[in-house]
């Protein structure tokens, strides 16, 4: 029995030694995203999330990478997960707004954009929100034909 227990411990140590370092893989994914390789970033974040399924920074980075890839629904899903834990993150709200606009979900995009405008001192974000709100209130011209 002692031999089996010892073998089990040895096997566990070998497996642990072969497991990728999630911090290293995460940093590689962040670097890939910064260097304009969002597909690689998604792959790295997938690896991290397989080992650490509740690691919100990986969802954040993967959500941004999906946005850059034009995979808007996946981007919304990941960014929403992070925003559930930190709903006052203006950067993530702006990213999710972009994804919502790309999906044609203007109302949700405007809500995120204007929430980000409330949270930030970035005048461009505030102006963009105001312009979109004004456009929503302006009636469309009649089209007789």
Query: What local confidence, expressed as pLDDT, does residue 13 receive?
Result: 40
Break the chain into its structural domains and give their ranges: 21-86, 88-137
pLDDT of residue 138: 66
Mean pLDDT (whole number) for 105-110: 96
What are the angstrom distances between the C-alpha of 105 and each of 101, 139, 141?
5, 19, 22
Question: Percent of the chain beyond pLDDT 90?
Answer: 68
- Across 14-18, 35-39, 87-91, least confident range: 14-18
What are the tokens at 5?
């227990």
For 21-86, which CATH class?
mainly alpha
| Max Cα-Cα span within the chain | 89
* Pairwise CA distance, residues 74 & 69, whole Å: 10
Taking 3-state DSSP, the helix, strand and coil percentages for the chain, each rounded to the nearest 5, stand at 80, 0, 20
- In angstroms, rounded to a whole number, what is the distance separating the alpha carbons of residues 99 and 73? 7
């Amino acid at each position: 029995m002692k031999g089996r227990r010892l073998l089990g411990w040895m096997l566990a140590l070998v497996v642990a030694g072969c497991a990728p370092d999630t911090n290293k893989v995460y940093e590689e994914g962040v670097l890939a995203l910064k260097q304009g390789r969002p597909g690689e970033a998604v792959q790295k974040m997938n690896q991290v999330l397989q080992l650490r399924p509740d690691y919100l920074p990986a969802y954040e980075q993967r959500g941004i990478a999906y946005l850059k890839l034009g995979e808007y629904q996946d981007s919304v899903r990941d960014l929403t997960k992070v925003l559930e834990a930190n709903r006052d993150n203006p950067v993530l709200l702006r990213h999710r707004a972009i994804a919502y606009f790309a999906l044609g979900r203007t109302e949700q995009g405007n809500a995120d954009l204007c929430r980000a405008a409330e949270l930030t001192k970035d005048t461009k974000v505030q102006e963009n929100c105001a312009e979109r709100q004004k456009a929503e209130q302006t009636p469309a011209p009649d089209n007789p034909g």
